[in-house]
């Protein structure tokens, strides 16, 4: 039998990956190889911790629950393509240094891309 905490982690990560669609409790336990008894206990525990939301649903003539993530997963989308994340000059970069965010062309390009203006010169000249 898998450890309860492991099961909670796995269940939570499964539910988080369903996004807004949620997942049927009965499907989830099948995928995790757990029994329905273990499953409903873990679901209750996650709900009590405020991590998921359960909604009653009739499926093939039987009542079950659909589980939805309550918190939004941590997302890196807003900065995923920012050049600063992978910049080798990071430690030397600052307004005091030889490399500075003030005149970094890669950063300027990224800033302009944020407004959907692609193909402009880095200096903003269209």
Partner 1 sequence: MLTFVDEETLRKVAEVVGSEDAIKVIEILKDSNEITDDEIANKTEIRLNTVRKILYKLYDHSLVSLRRSRDENTGWFIFHWKLQPDQLEGFILNQKRRVLEKLQTRLNYEKSHDFYYCHTPGCKRVPFEEAMELVFRCPTCTKPLMHFDNSKIIEILNKKVEQLRKELGE
Please choose, from the candidates 98, 103, 97, the residue with its C-alpha nearest in 3D space to the C-alpha of residue 122.
103
Q: Is 32 in the site for partner 1 (CB under 8 A)?
A: no
Judged by CB under 8 A, the chain residues 74 through 103 that form the site for partner 1 are: 74-80, 82, 84-86, 90, 93-95, 100-103
> Which window, 6-14, 20-28, 29-37, 59-67, contacts partner 1 (CB under 8 A)?
6-14
**Tokens representing residue 15 in the block:** 């539910």
User: Which run of H or of E encompasses 30?
Assistant: helix 25-32
Residue 13 binds partner 1, judged by CB under 8 A: yes
- Smallest gap from Cβ 38 to partner 1, in A, equals 17
Residue 50 zone, left/alpha/beta (φ > 0; ψ -120 to 50; rest):
left
Rounded to the nearest 5°, which phi and psi values hold at 52? -135, 170
Considering only CA atoms, which of 56, 47, 52, 60 is closest in space to residue 13? Answer: 52
Q: Which stretch binds partner 1 (CB under 8 A): 4-12, 24-32, 34-42, 58-66?
A: 4-12
99: DSSP letter: B
Per rule CB under 8 A, is residue 69 in the interface with partner 1?
yes
Interface residue list for partner 1 (CB under 8 A): 8-9, 12-13, 16-17, 19, 46, 49, 51, 69, 71-80, 82, 84-86, 90, 93-95, 100-103, 107-108, 111-112, 114-115, 117, 121, 123-125
């Amino acid at each position: 039998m898998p450890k309860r905490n492991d099961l909670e982690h796995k269940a939570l990560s499964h539910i988080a990956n369903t996004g807004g669609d949620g997942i049927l409790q009965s499907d989830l336990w099948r995928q995790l190889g757990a029994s329905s008894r273990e499953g409903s206990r873990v679901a209750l525990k996650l709900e009590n911790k405020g991590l998921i939301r359960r909604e009653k649903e009739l499926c093939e003539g039987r009542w079950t629950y659909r589980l939805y993530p309550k918190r939004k997963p941590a997302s890196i989308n807003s900065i995923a393509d920012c050049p600063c994340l992978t910049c080798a000059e990071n430690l030397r970069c600052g307004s005091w240094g030889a490399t500075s965010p003030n005149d970094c062309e890669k950063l300027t390009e990224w800033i302009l891309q944020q407004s959907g203006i692609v193909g402009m010169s880095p200096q903003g000249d269209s």
